Amino acid sequence: MANKIPTEILIKILNNNVQSSRSTQDLHSSLLVNRFWCRVTAPILWGLPLDQEFRWMGYKKLKKKALCIRAYISCLDTQSRTLLTQNGFDLSSSPPQATFDYPSFIHKVRIDNLSYFISIYSQQIFSSDQDIDKNNKSKKPIIVTKSRILFREICELITNRCTFLNSFQMTKIAFKNFLNDDLICSILKSPKVFKKLETFVSSTLNDELIGTLYGSLALICDNILNMDLEFKSESQVLLLENLISVQKQLENLSITDYCYKINCNSLLSVIFSQKETLKSLRLKFVRFYDFEKKLLPIGRFTSLKELYIENCYGLNQLDCLFFAPSFNQLSIFHYFHTNYQLNGDAHKFIAKILETANTNLKNICLDIDHSIPFDVLSVILNCCTKVTELTLLNLNIIQAIAIFHNKFNELRSLSFGYEKELDAEELLCQIGEKVPESLETIEIRMGAFSAESLEKLFKGWCRKGGGRNKRIIVKRTIQAHRYRFTLSDEHWKVIEKYGVQIDIE
């Protein structure tokens, strides 16, 4: 008889498969096999329901997903079940004893999932004499009150039963009026559950909730790897700074400012304190005022590979040349500035980062109002020659042609657009002979073009190896949309001849 595969090995194999597909299918499917299979698969399947994102899922599917609450109710003790029954819940579909201790399998939680599932499922299990008309707005407070009771019991069940949570996300929270009391109370009762927290995401703007939560986590967690945080008040910034500063292994940090009036100089100093471990940094709408370089510690980021900056104001007031060299290990740099014209100091900031990262940069994306500044483009052409993905919006035709004439021997994906409505004929004819052999995908925002100019592009692009693995995406300009430009039969003949995949958007 062949040796059985050890349970722990099977779990690792199945975990890899589940993580790649992110599909639970039927949470009870393992019950149809055998007891051994149940022991292996149940912990994996039941670790998923509260972690997945269901933003675009239809209501029927969400209703099915919400049935996981039924199993959690079966794991409640007698006192909690009695409380639910006394408040009008029909628990006949949830037996008093569960097959497994399902809450113990949970290690990743999106609180918005839990609250949403409860709001759906609680309406299905009201006793018949407590039936509620969903269309009757006067009954809404009753629904929320009952959902609150169920939420509190399930939340405490999870924090008491699971051994640890390594991912905790709060986004678009329903029932904000009672989460501060019920959720935070559960956290403070069982702080040990957050000792191994690795990922923390918070996009709620409830000031009181954020304050209590950040303060609690700062006392409990010092090994968080990934943070995605938002703030809307100065008090939240101080709490956020405290939470970041106590971390010992922070690798990925994303910060969004929804107040737009806060001076975040001290926050920048806290970020620099993580320079030895931070690998990815994303700043959105963050503002800096009257910056002094003495606020920053001496040294450079030693691990930072990814930098994303979106509409961060006050860069012209920063001594950008002082700290830009800190990004010498960057492989990805995205800069978005779409609300007003960029000034000269910001140009220097971008150019200095590009120059410093140099050939380490593999992915560059610049989305700037008006055309890309000449000094910035010059640095890309001369220093960033190892780039594999390049996105430059608002180019003029001379700049676009210069990109193709440069020696980007490793470039695989190029995306660009015109700053104005320009005829695409000249562009396609000019770049056809200079397309890098390594280039696999071209994305262009342009106007109407003829089949002849398209063939000139394809002829140069496909001169070696054909067009089997090549793709062009054409995003039509306003003018092209206005005249309803589409591909003609002549265009399709050229496309079939060279075999290049083409998409018109």
83-124 per-position pLDDT tens digit: 998 888 888 888 888 888 999 999 999 888 888 888 888 777
Task: Give the residue numbers spanning the domain of 73.
Answer: 48-196
Instruction: Output phi, psi for 336, to 5 deg.
Output: -120, 125
For residue 21, the model assigns a pLDDT of 46
Of the listed ranges 352-366, 367-381, 411-425, the least confidently predicted one is 411-425
The HSE-up count of residue 45 (CA atoms within 13 Å, CB side) is 19
For residue 274, the model assigns a pLDDT of 92
For residue 478, the model assigns a pLDDT of 63
Identify whether residues 84 and 38 lie together within a single domain.
no
Structure tokens at 379: 């640095």
Average of per-residue pLDDT across 179-205:
76
Sort strands 471-476 and 441-446 into parallel, antiparallel or unpaired: parallel
Identify whether residues 35 and 94 lie together within a single domain.
no
In a domain, 297, yes or no: no
What pTM, to 2 d.p., does this model score?
0.84
Nearest to 287 by CA among 323, 254, 252, 311: 311
- Give residue for tokens 């039936």: 131
What is the SS3 assignment for 368?
A: strand
Identify whether residues 32 and 52 lie together within a single domain.
no
Identify whether residues 99 and 148 lie together within a single domain.
yes
Residue 246 sits at the vertex; the CA angle it makes with 244 and 247, to the nearest 5 degrees, is 70
Average of per-residue pLDDT across 278-305:
77
User: Is pLDDT above 80 for 278?
Assistant: yes
Q: What is the DSSP letter of 287?
A: B
Structure tokens at 348: 């220097």
Which of 345-349, 414-418, 498-502 tops mean pLDDT? 498-502
What is the SS3 assignment for 281?
A: strand
Identify whether residues 36 and 112 lie together within a single domain.
no
User: Is pLDDT above 90 for 334?
Assistant: yes
First to last CA, the chain: 60
Alpha carbon 61 to its chain's center? 23
Identify whether residues 37 and 57 lie together within a single domain.
no
pLDDT band at 75 (very low <50, low <70, confident <90, very high): very high
> Contact, 351 vs 319, CB < 8 A?
no
Number of domains in the chain: 2
- Give residue for tokens 């040349």: 321
Domain boundary among 196, 217, 233: 196
Of the listed ranges 142-146, 287-291, 295-299, 416-420, the least confidently predicted one is 295-299
In a domain, 343, yes or no: no
Identify whether residues 92 and 114 lie together within a single domain.
yes
Domain boundary among 153, 172, 196: 196
Q: Specify the length of the chain in residues.
A: 505
Identify whether residues 57 and 185 lie together within a single domain.
yes
Sign of the four-CA dihedral 493, 494, 500, 503: negative
In a domain, 74, yes or no: yes
- Give residue for tokens 């083409």: 502
Instruction: Output phi, psi for 499, to 5 deg.
Output: 75, 15
In a domain, 69, yes or no: yes
Structure tokens at 498: 């060279």
Alpha carbon 13 to its chain's center? 26
Which residues is 418 bridged to in the sheet?
395
Identify whether residues 2 and 84 lie together within a single domain.
no
- Give residue for tokens 């090994």: 223
In a domain, 164, yes or no: yes
User: Is pLDDT above 90 for 433?
Assistant: no
In a domain, 126, yes or no: yes
Backbone φ/ψ region at 79: left (φ over 0), alpha (ψ -120 to 50), beta: alpha
Higher pLDDT, 288 or 197: 197
Identify whether residues 73 and 191 lie together within a single domain.
yes
- How many helices (H) and strands (E) in the chain? 19, 14
Distance CA 308, CA 281 (A): 6
Identify whether residues 106 and 68 lie together within a single domain.
yes
> Contact, 94 vs 70, CB < 8 A?
yes
For residue 204, the model assigns a pLDDT of 64
Domain boundary among 146, 173, 196: 196
H helix or E strand, kind and range, residue 332: strand 332-337
Higher pLDDT, 22 or 204: 204
Q: Cα dist. 334→359, 363, 492 in Å?
A: 16, 8, 35
For residue 121, the model assigns a pLDDT of 84
The mean of the pLDDT values for the chain is: 80
In a domain, 30, yes or no: yes
Task: Give alpha helix (H) positions in 66-206.
Answer: 68-74, 78-86, 111-122, 140-161, 176-189
Identify whether residues 29 and 55 lie together within a single domain.
no
Q: Is 136 exposed, middle or buried (0-12, 13-18, 19+ CB in 10 A)?
A: exposed
> Contact, 368 vs 397, CB < 8 A?
no
Q: For the chain, how big is the Rg over CA atoms in Å?
A: 28
Sign of the four-CA dihedral 159, 161, 163, 168: negative
Task: Name residue 95's amino acid.
Answer: P
In a domain, 25, yes or no: yes
